Amino acid sequence: MTPSAAPTGAAAPTGAAPPSGAAPPTGAAPPTGAAPSDLPEKAYAVALASVPGVGPKTLRRLLDGTVPHAAWEELVTGSARVRASLTTESARNDARKIDVAHVWATHVQAGVGVCILGEPGYPAALRADPEAPAVLFSLGSPRVVDGAPRVAIVGTRSATRYGLGVAAQLGADLAAAGVVVVSGLALGIDGAAHEGALAAWRAASGGKEPAAHAAAASITAGPSGPEVAASFPTPRAAPPVAVVAGGVTAPYPRQHSGLWRRVAEAGAVLSEAPIGVADVAWRFPARNRIIAALSDVVVVVESHSRGGSFHTVEAATARSVPVGAVPGSIRSPASAGTNALLADGCFMVRDLSDVLVALGLRLAAADPGSWPAPPSAQAADDLPSPTREVVGAVAWDRTSLEEILEQTGLPMDTVCGALERLQARGVVRGEAGWWERG
Amino acid sequence: MIAAVHSATLTGTTGRPVVVEVHDSGGLPGFTIVGLPDTAVRESRDRVRAALLSSTFGWPQRRMTVNLAPTAVRKAGAGLDLPIALGVLAAVGDLAAKALEGVAFIGELGLDGSVRHVPGTIALAEAVRGQRLVVPECDLAEAAAVRPNRTFGVRSLHTLVEILRGSHPWPHAPVTNGALGRSSERADRDGNGSPAAAEQRAWLERAVACYGDLEEVKGQRVGRRAVEVAAAGGHHLLLVGPPGSGKTMLARRLVGLLPPLARPEALEVTRIHSSAGLSAREGGLVWDPPFRAPHHGASAVSLVGGGTASMRPGEISLASHGVLFLDEMGEFPVAVLDALRQPLEEGVVRVSRAKGTADFPARFLLAGAMNPCPCGEGGAPGSCRCSPAARARYVRRLSGPLLDRFDLVVPLRRTTPDELLSPAPGEPTSAVAARVGAARRLARTRGVRCNSELRASMLSAVAPLDSGAAELLERSVRAGRLSGRGVDRVRRVARTIADLDVARAGGGEGAVAVRGGASVVKQEHVAEALALRAGREVLDVGG
């Protein structure tokens, strides 16, 4: 065993490598073999993760107790240990087709950071998790997850306006209070939470005053708070973190490519998948376990009964991570899952302070004004006649135009005219034929 | 000897004059038909021979050549049987050539010498040259609609030859039957005569019997209003709702709200239906707006027309001046739907084949129905369980330009059990049809048949907005709810809604015309037009 040489040659340009990738590889060099010896250990870790038949568990087994280079050699040559952990020959055949230098160069050129479990640079928050990814890929700075409390905001992709609004508000408030918002960059709740957190982060870091309520809130460690609370610094807005299923340079869904880039610039986009893997379905629930493992608290904003968010909830429960849920209308299918979680004993999330309490933090100066107070119901009484009846027929959760017509008995043009006037004044809001107050 | 007989053949929905020449000479006995005959025409040799023999005439054991002039036009169908038979008789001298001068003949022959129905008689009758026209008796009413004078119906070849020989008089042309009497009254009606009202009532009765009454649709106030606006303004309508929300029920009742056809429209519809081999209700003309609902397995050719040399009109032409209903629009093949775009734009579909070209009229009201997404539940926010990709794939089947043709994209929700079981009937078709008729009369004062035909340049003159309406439109555009193209569509629909408002206020027709002709479009009219477009948000295709 001889210490490996520093990376040289075109395959690993040290100048272009990201900070984490440029660190000199540790561990032992290959014993003997045909593979080029001028690649860093991380290159072999990336190559191992790129083999189609090697999932997170196999990857951990392969890298357990050995350096990536040695593990790669074992995989390609088919040693006894590898044979025990791989059931098919296909993974070995696939591995033989992989050009390690090329795969490594692709990652270096794309500016993707690579962290290996157990080595410096790997997020401390994940290190102790039993299912932590053996190799973590990142865009941005993966270190942002350490040193601040982390809250996952998750939920359905087909969210209502209510859910989107709550997710954005919660994301903004948490980020402004210095809590790292973790989510999955999916459509719906995930995207809204990231947008909210980004807005708060930008307001704070752009030289402007952070959101007023966050500045007013002074957070101190609670008496019985977890370890992380004790080390919590003065409130400063925290950047958002996304954990995605596919490669970090392949935005999915495409509608979120702009948001993806902004999250990576402000905070980090993390994944256990290397560049170029297919977006296969199993990666999405597998990604949810990383979100749960990273987070101190998981908040489900809206979820259908047995929706995809339940993968995150199960992973969080298995790790004893507290799960909170935002209550919703019992008539809204998008809140069926969250309401069921509340019935099962999850803590209720109505505003920022509910989450901070669960984190073991508390707001010294509670700021009830941070969430828009529901418009007073009496305001409707001063309205002129047809408008008053119409506003009375619009419920606080979604009401179809059909129901409003049914309840008021007025002609459709009168009702629509009144609804549009109310919308202009911000009393009701309408979308796709459904109306709601506020 | 040579004989020449006048007749006509059908290409698409247009007739073309044809001269049937028959040449008789010595030589090896034979019978040849030349001049681009199709299979049916070529087979007429056997029908003609049998019909002549059954009608007590002989079959010449000579060499007969039949030429169908002009030779460049393809001849289709069996309508040339009768002229060929008469030509044979004249060529061999059994009939004086003079008797055939100035008379045109159309008819298919049975083996027993009977003269049978020919599809497209009305188009053929328009095309033939000659002072007199002889058609099968069953097609007389149809032919007489365009040639009321000196058109005669015959039942058998034998009778006809007797007439031509002079041993029988020409039959009295029964041109004053019910259908024709009505049509002549229709020609000069101006919209407030009592015959028109009687026809309207008769059509309503038939429509309700055939397609159902609007009062049977429980709940669905938005949907019922949408079909009313669609009928009044001729606005294409797309109903977006989950299974069981009554989309099909509503679309079927849409046709009953349309007024009965005016004479030029009836002529056009009859020409198309007759060419396609569909017979009118009681002979004569088709006065009822047609309703066509092809299944989503339909091919592009069956929808737009075409086929073999005979060029059959497609479903969109058969729906002319009526309703074309496409149920489960998301299930139609993309190519079939895109074939609709050009006819929707121009009101005409030009079918071109190697063997010929045909123009079919295709001015129809398009009613579509579809689920909001593959699972069907996507109408209500937060209810859908489809993946965003699956939803996008489903909606993409309707191309943007096709979706843009729909002025009304209406979200429907499932009817609740309370509404279903409610004994209270909705408004009946007759009441709604009265408003639709009044609104259509208002549209005619603007020089169009209905408001959907208003050009963008006319809108500021005929659909002026009050301040509230203008403000609402501006706010919607700024909020991204409405695109520039959408603004004009909303204004047209708002014009129709304002017209219906005037009609609802009632009063005599004169009062309606005075108040309605150029009344201002108010804020609530624009608001309702926007609400009747909200289905675009369900489909997530923008304003």
What does the alpha-carbon distance between residue B150 and residue B173 come to, in Å, rounded to a whole number? 7
pLDDT of B395: 85
Interface touch B381/A302, C-beta < 8 Å: no
Quick one: DSSP state of residue A17? S
For chain B, which residues lie within 8 Å of any Cβ of chain A, measuring from their own Cβ?
219-222, 225, 377-389, 411, 413, 419, 472, 475, 497, 501, 504, 522-528, 530-531, 534-535, 537-538
Contacts of B501 in chain A (CB under 8 A): 413
> Within 10 A of A81 (CB to CB), how many other CB atoms are there?
16
pLDDT of B180: 44
Entry field: residues in chain A: 438
Which member of B221, B411, B527 has the closest CB to residue A419?
A: B527
pLDDT digits (tens, 9 = 90+) for A176-212: 888 999 999 998 999 999 999 999 988 887 644 333 3
pLDDT of B485: 80
What does the alpha-carbon distance between residue A118 and residue A128 come to, in Å, rounded to a whole number? 9
Pairing of strands B30-34, B63-69: parallel
pLDDT of B514: 61
Report helix, strand or coil for B486: helix
The token pair that represents A188 in the structure block: 């719906």
Over 90: is that where the pLDDT of A59 sits?
A: no
Report helix, strand or coil for A310: helix
Quick one: DSSP state of residue A130? T
pLDDT of B252: 92
Q: Which residue has the higher pLDDT, A113 or A277?
A: A113
Pairing of strands A297-300, A268-271: unpaired
| A113 beta partners | A138
Domains, chain B: 2-165 (3.30.230.10), 194-449 (3.40.50.300)
pLDDT of A332: 85
| Shortest Cα–Cα distance, A223 to chain B (Å) | 40
Which member of B387, B388, B534 has the closest CB to residue A433?
A: B534
Contacts of A416 in chain B (CB under 8 A): 524, 527-528, 530-531
Residue of A nearest to B524 (CA): A417
Give me the total of CB pairs closer than 8 Å, taking one residue from chain A and one from chain B: 108
Interface touch B537/A334, C-beta < 8 Å: no
> Within 10 A of A254 (CB to CB), how many other CB atoms are there?
10
Percent of chain A clearing pLDDT 90 (strictly above): 29
Residue tagged 């493992």 (tokens): A293
Interface touch A406/B419, C-beta < 8 Å: yes
A430 touches chain B (CB under 8 A): yes
Average pLDDT over residues A287-315: 91
pTM for this predicted structure? 0.72
Q: Which residues, in sequence order, are CB contacts of B172 under 8 Å at separation 6+?
A: none
Quick one: pLDDT band at residue A14, thresholds 50, 70, 90?
Answer: very low
Over 50: is that where the pLDDT of A9 sits?
A: no
Domains, chain A: 19-110 (no CATH), 144-370 (3.40.50.450), 377-437 (1.10.10.10)
A256 touches chain B (CB under 8 A): no
Alpha-carbon distances, residue A162 vs A189, A312, A403, B176, B542 (angstroms): 10, 21, 19, 70, 20
What does the alpha-carbon distance between residue B465 and residue B531 come to, in Å, rounded to a whole number? 17
Pinpoint the alpha helices (H) of B479-522: 484-505, 509-516
Burial B423-448 (b: 16+ CB within 10 A, else e): eeebbebbebbbbbbbbbbbbeebeb
pLDDT of A73: 83
pLDDT of B406: 93
In this structure, of A12-21, A79-88, B498-507, the range with the lowest mean pLDDT score is A12-21
pLDDT of B185: 43
pLDDT digits (tens, 9 = 90+) for A219-253: 443 444 343 333 334 457 889 999 999 889 888 88
Alpha-carbon distances, residue B201 vs B198, B206, B232, B287, B304 (angstroms): 5, 9, 17, 13, 33
**Using N-to-C axis directions, what is the helix angle for B221-233 and B429-444, rounded to 10°?**
30
Interface touch B379/A405, C-beta < 8 Å: no
Q: What proportions of chain A, in percent to the nearest 5, are helix, strand and coil?
A: 45, 10, 40
Interface touch A398/B497, C-beta < 8 Å: no
pLDDT of A2: 40
Residues in chain B, pLDDT under 70: 173-195, 280-283, 308-310, 378-379, 506-518, 542-543
pLDDT digits (tens, 9 = 90+) for A379-411: 555 677 788 888 888 877 778 898 899 888 889
Residue tagged 């299918």 (tokens): A333
Residue of A nearest to B475 (CA): A424
pLDDT of B282: 63
pLDDT of B256: 92
| Shortest Cα–Cα distance, B154 to chain A (Å) | 58
**Using N-to-C axis directions, what is the helix angle for B81-91 and B157-165, rounded to 10°?**
50
pLDDT digits (tens, 9 = 90+) for A114-153: 999 888 888 888 888 888 999 999 998 888 888 788 999 9
